[in-house]
Every structure is written in structure tokens, then in C-alpha cells.
């Protein structure tokens, strides 16, 4: 067996950090060698420091490991960052300067000109941006938990017919707010029609991911996106209703067939975390549903249904995906698997 790459999980005690630890247990390429959190948790064992909230048991190897600080000399080559946005930026910059390869789930560097914002099936060629970072290490980001599944659904359509504009409404699970997240008296039996800074990310990040790599960075795709982001009383799984205006005419059945047939670089390389089908198209009238469909492809596939003609646009559809897996930790791990397979680590 090839020697595995040592990795550190940053923000390890949080919800996304826990998902990283769960997904990396027994990973064929990466081995967790360091768990990093705040000063409040440092020097404790992970079992003492973390309030484990996932349904799966805490891995024993993690439970007994001492929690470190990001400023420590870490026994790792790669860092998976689940540090909260606003704090992550400086920490990740410092780590990259010290030679670590940082794969971040935070928003702080996503729109930097020399930092790739990657979904491996969508824009693997953007990985070349790290060569423009003047540091011993580098930073790679994945998108937000709504922009990722939306961009995946749009990619095959944009390549074949061109996407002109998108109107999207998201129905976002409470797990997307982290832990403890949204107070129960605010969300139970309720819908909250505002999530801070979410709509701005959904309206801009897909344009970079669908854009073309140029001499000064990425030229954004010329698509207009209008988003409304809503928090709903669902534990895990973000859902989206998308209305898409295409540049060329297309029948809804052709759209569905194209989505179902779509594959990308991870499927070609058979990366460990890559689902066989990135987009799973369902034809039942009442699917997809978060409770039933978010674990397609071990949580790495996006389930799409109700693909039909739209009287105000070209086509409309409904989708759902696992927001803490494909929408967060899983996408970051898949990014690192891509870099490993292409010799960039």
C-alpha cells in the first residue's frame, strides 16, 4: 500500500470539522495526524474537547489524540480547514506561507484572484491557479453548501446550451448553521426567510466556478443569478428550486438525460470519494427529498428531480444534497484527492 499523506483537520471540534474526521477515517490516501482547534481546546484530548454531534461514533484514533494549535509545528503536509469564516483567512494564509497545502471550506479566500474555487467535476483546470500563489504551500477552496449543488446542476447545461440567467430558492437545513446553530424556538414549525450573506455567495461563487481561466485569474461566467435563501426545519440536506433560462432551446427530457449522463474528472480518475454519477436524476413526482436522497453516492451525489419546462424560463428543477458532505467537507476532500492524483501534493 502506498504511504498515506498526513493531514491536519483545522476547526476539528466544530460540526464541519467532525464531518472531516468521520469521512477521513480509513481513507485510502489521507491519514489524520493532527487535530487543531482553539486555545480553549488545545492540550486536551479530542474526546475531552469535542461535543460529538454526528450519528456515527467518534473514531477512537481521534478520541485519544491531543488537540493542537494552528501556530504549532504540525506533523502534516495537508490541512483541511473547517475554521469559521472571518477567522480562517489569516490562519490559512499563515499556514500556506509555512508550506502547508490548505484545503479550505471557509469563504475568506474563495474570491481571491490566485486561489482556485473548485468543484472537481466542474472546473478541475482551475487547480493551476495555485502556481500563482507566492508561498511555499497553497490554498484551495470549495464553494458554499448551496453554490456547490447548484453549480453541478448547471455545468452540463451551460456547456451544451449556455445558461443565461437563473432564479433559485434554497431551503436550507439547520445543520448548515453549525452547532448549536438556530435556536429551537426560532425554527420549529417555522421558516426563516433570511440567512446572513448567503444570497450574495450563491449569486457570485458559481460564476467563478463556471468561469474560464485567464491570465489575471478566472473570468466569471456571464450568467445572472438571483437567489433567495431560506432556513427550514430540516436536520441535514439543502434543497433548491431552480428556474433556468438557456441561450439555446432544449427539451426538458433532454436536460434530464444530459444531467443523468454527466461525468467529470473525478469519475475518470476513479477518485476515492467520487460518486459514480455526480447528478442522480429521479422521475418520481415527489422526489428528491432530503430524508430519502441525501446519501446518494455516500453523500457526494446531488439528487435532481421534477425536471420540466418553465413558462417563464427554459427549464426548472428541484434538487437536494448533503450540505455537510458534498456541500462542505466531502468536496474539500475530493479537491485534495484530485490534487494528489494529478501530482500537485
pLDDT digits (tens, 9 = 90+) for 64-123: 999 999 999 999 999 999 999 999 999 999 999 999 999 999 999 999 999 999 999 999
C-alpha span between 186 and 177 (Å, rounded): 13
Residue tagged active-site, from 79, 109, 126, 145? 145
Q: How far apart are CA 208 and CA 212, in angstroms?
A: 8
Residue with cell 450574495: 200
pLDDT in tens, 188-245: 999 999 999 999 999 999 999 999 999 989 999 999 999 999 999 999 999 999 999 9
Is the CB of residue 194 less than 8 Å from the CB of residue 140?
no
In the set 109, 126, 158, 238, the catalytic residue is 238
| Phi then psi dihedrals of residue 307, to 5 deg | -75, 120
Average model confidence (pLDDT) for the chain?
Answer: 97
* Residue 27 among the catalytic residues: no
Determine the pLDDT at residue 3: 86
Give the other-Cβ count within 10 Å of 123's Cβ. Answer: 22
pTM above 0.85? yes
Domains parsed from the chain with CATH numbers: 5-143+329-341 (3.40.50.720), 147-322 (3.30.360.10)
Name the nearest CA neighbour of 107 among 222, 228, 16: 16
**DSSP symbol at 145:** T
Strands 315-321 and 302-309: antiparallel
Rg, C-alpha atoms of the chain: 19
Evaluate whether 121 touches 300 at the Cβ level (below 8 Å): no
- The C-alpha atoms of residue 322 and residue 149 are separated, in whole angstroms, by 9
Find, among 291, 266, 296, the residue nearest to 279 by Cα: 296
Amino acid at each position: 500500500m502506498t504511504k498515506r499523506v498526513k493531514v491536519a483537520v483545522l476547526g476539528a471540534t466544530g460540526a464541519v470539522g467532525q464531518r472531516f474526521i468521520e469521512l477521513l477515517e480509513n481513507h485510502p490516501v489521507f491519514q489524520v495526524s493532527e487535530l487543531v482547534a482553539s486555545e480553549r481546546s488545545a492540550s486536551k484530548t479530542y474526546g475531552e474537547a469535542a461535543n460529538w454531534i454526528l450519528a456515527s461514533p467518534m473514531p477512537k484514533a481521534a478520541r485519544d489524540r491531543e488537540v493542537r494549535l494552528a501556530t504549532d509545528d504540525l506533523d502534516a503536509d495537508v490541512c483541511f480547514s473547517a475554521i469559521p469564516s472571518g477567522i480562517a483567512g489569516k490562519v490559512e494564509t499563515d499556514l500556506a506561507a509555512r508550506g502547508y497545502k490548505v484545503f479550505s471550506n471557509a469563504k475568506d479566500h474563495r474570491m481571491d484572484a490566485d486561489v482556485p474555487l473548485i468543484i472537481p467535476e466542474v472546473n478541475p483546470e482551475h487547480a493551476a491557479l495555485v502556481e500563482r500563489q507566492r508561498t511555499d504551500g497553497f490554498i484551495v477552496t470549495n464553494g458554499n453548501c448551496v453554490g456547490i449543488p447548484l453549480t453541478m446542476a448547471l455545468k452540463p447545461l451551460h456547456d451544451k446550451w449556455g445558461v443565461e440567467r437563473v432564479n433559485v430558492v434554497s431551503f436550507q437545513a439547520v445543520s448548515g448553521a453549525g452547532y448549536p446553530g438556530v435556536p429551537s424556538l426560532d425554527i420549529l414549525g417555522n421558516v426563516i426567510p433570511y440567512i446572513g450573506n448567503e444570497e450574495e455567495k450563491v449569486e457570485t461563487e458559481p460564476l467563478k466556478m463556471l468561469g474560464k481561466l485567464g491570465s489575471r485569474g478566472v473570468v466569471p461566467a456571464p450568467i445572472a443569478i438571483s437567489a433567495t435563501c431560506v432556513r427550514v426545519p430540516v436536520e441535514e440536506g439543502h434543497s433548491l428550486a431552480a428556474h433556468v433560462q438557456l441561450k439555446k432551446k432544449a427539451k426538458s427530457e433532454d436536460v434530464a438525460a444530459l444531467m443523468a449522463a454527466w461525468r467529470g474528472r473525478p469519475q475518470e480518475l476513479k477518485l476515492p470519494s467520487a460518486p459514480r454519477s455526480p447528478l442522480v436524476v429521479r422521475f418520481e413526482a415527489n422526489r428528491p427529498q432530503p430524508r430519502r436522497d441525501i446519501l446518494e453516492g455516500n453523500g457526494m451525489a446531488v439528487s435532481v428531480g421534477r425536471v420540466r419546462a418553465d413558462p417563464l424560463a427554459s427549464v426548472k428543477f428541484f434538487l437536494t444534497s448533503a450540505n455537510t458532505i458534498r456541500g462542505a467537507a466531502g468536496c474539500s476532500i475530493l479537491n485534495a484527492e484530485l490534487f494528489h492524483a494529478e501530482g500537485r501534493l
